[in-house]
Amino acid sequence: MDEDMLTLLGSCPVPFEDSTEVLLSHGSGGKLTADLIERLFLPAFRNPYLDRLDDQAVVPIDGIRLAFTTDSYVVTPIFFPGGDIGQLAVHGTVNDLAMSGAHPLYLSAAFILEEGLPLADLARIVASMREACTTAGVVLVTGDTKVVNRGSGDKIFINTSGVGRIEHGRVIAADQVRAGDLVILSGTIADHGMAVMSKREGLEFETEIRSDTAPLNSLVQTLLAGNPEIHCLRDPTRGGVATSLHEIARRAQVGIVLDERAIPVREEVKGACEILGIDPLYVANEGKLLAVVDRKDAAGVLERMRGHRYGQEAQMIGEVVGDHPGLVIMRTGIGGTRIVDVMLQEQLPRIC
């Protein structure tokens, strides 16, 4: 590690925010979420499946490798350009399963409705979930509905859980990543988060910013078809690309070096980020994935990705290094380097 890097490291701000209460930042996907997981949830439930901290658990049942995942969706507003909470809930869980290389098969849906929600809104959300299930090729097999009194919820929260089957022989997980791997991003970043924020803040642009919400299971199957050495797949949702890469770097104890110029951001999204003072690297995506691939197979994976509907704008955005384990470093457009911090504050509450 050169001296510049050491200077950077020395000045890296990691303030420690302690609280006796749940803060919005505990749900950000960033530092405080990690704290909550590592201090509270992991010690309580410690087991080899949970401890991996991947987007899904991979559990054995009678010789089958089953992927199992859960997510609750609390996005506000519930309808936004490019999608709605229902579609998001289906795609999110399909994607979490797909990131293990699993074929998503069955979904559950549990609704927490606030008294007073228009039934027409619920019907619209359900129709959207149905369409999303059909497109992704998953079957919603079980559900639950609870209603809370006015003021004890916010219109609608949806939990989806899902199971899928892993048919390939690999382990695709953060701890499989190693120095020398290359990092591929399937397309533009921050579309989802900025679509929601623009709607929430009433921002208007010449070109409407639309969520990228999409089911990524067919993209993953396309990538896996050539049996390349894909070590890790992540969909960079809450906390964005920065947070997903931090999790990988930390889990695999490697460094990651990104090339700022290679990371695609739409002009209108860049504009919205500037207005709101938000770094797009930390903004949620709902139809993108990061693939960390053995160097020898990276070009092939990139090519396949670009041939798929959801990977047309894919880019090679960085590499995995043995130096500075746990850190993500950005080579900036003007030739410098900076540390990509762990996200500390909640920038975008209730984005998914």
Distance of alpha carbon 234 from alpha carbon 217, whole angstroms: 12
Among 79, 81, 108, 337, binds its own copies (CB under 8 A): 108
For residues 154-213, which are near its own copies according to CB under 8 A?
154, 157, 159, 161, 163, 165
Is 78 near its own copies (CB under 8 A)? no
For residues 215-244, which are near its own copies according to CB under 8 A?
none
Distance of alpha carbon 15 from alpha carbon 344, whole angstroms: 8
Residue 202 CB, nearest distance to its own copies (Å)?
Answer: 18
For residues 292-321, which are near its own copies according to CB under 8 A?
none
- The window from 1-9, 68-76, 77-85, 302-310 that contacts its own copies (CB under 8 A) reads 68-76
Of residues 165 and 250, the one with the C-beta less far from its own copies: 165
Closest by Cα among 216, 175, 179 to 294 = 179
Instruction: Give 55-70 as a DSSP string.
Output: SSEEEEETTEEEEEEE
Of residues 268 and 346, the one with the C-beta less far from its own copies: 346
The helix/strand/coil state of 257 is strand
Contact (Cβ atoms closer than 8 angstroms) between residue 300 and residue 228: yes
Among 3, 149, 169, 202, binds its own copies (CB under 8 A): 149
Is 282 near its own copies (CB under 8 A)? no
Contact (Cβ atoms closer than 8 angstroms) between residue 248 and residue 292: yes
Distance of alpha carbon 89 from alpha carbon 323, whole angstroms: 38
Contact (Cβ atoms closer than 8 angstroms) between residue 24 and residue 351: no
Q: Which two tokens stand for residue 161?
A: 């859980």
The helix/strand/coil state of 15 is coil
Is 144 near its own copies (CB under 8 A)? yes
Is 262 near its own copies (CB under 8 A)? no
Among 129, 257, 289, 290, binds its own copies (CB under 8 A): 129
Contact (Cβ atoms closer than 8 angstroms) between residue 283 and residue 293: no
Residue 303 CB, nearest distance to its own copies (Å)?
Answer: 32
Is 350 near its own copies (CB under 8 A)? yes
Is 68 near its own copies (CB under 8 A)? yes
Residue 59 CB, nearest distance to its own copies (Å)?
Answer: 5
Of residues 155 and 210, the one with the C-beta less far from its own copies: 155
Distance of alpha carbon 333 from alpha carbon 40, whole angstroms: 40
Residue 133 CB, nearest distance to its own copies (Å)?
Answer: 7
Residues 15-44: x where in contact with its own copies by CB under 8 A, - otherwise, as a string: ----xxxxxxxxxx----x--xx--xx--x
- The window from 147-155, 192-200, 250-258, 295-303 that contacts its own copies (CB under 8 A) reads 147-155
Using CA atoms, how far residue 91 sits from 30, 75, 104, 133, 288, in Å, is 22, 14, 11, 8, 11
Of residues 124 and 270, the one with the C-beta less far from its own copies: 124
Other beta carbons within 10 Å of 269: 26
Among 1, 9, 12, 64, binds its own copies (CB under 8 A): 64
Of residues 322 and 349, the one with the C-beta less far from its own copies: 349
Among 12, 17, 38, 47, binds its own copies (CB under 8 A): 47
Of residues 6 and 64, the one with the C-beta less far from its own copies: 64
Torsion of CA 126, 74, 193, 205, to 10 degrees: 70
Among 8, 69, 174, 210, binds its own copies (CB under 8 A): 69
Of residues 12 and 147, the one with the C-beta less far from its own copies: 147
Instruction: Give 128-187 as a DSSP string.
Output: HHHHHHHHHT-EEEEEEEEEE-TTSS-SEEEEEEEEEEE-SS---SGGG--TT-EEEE-S
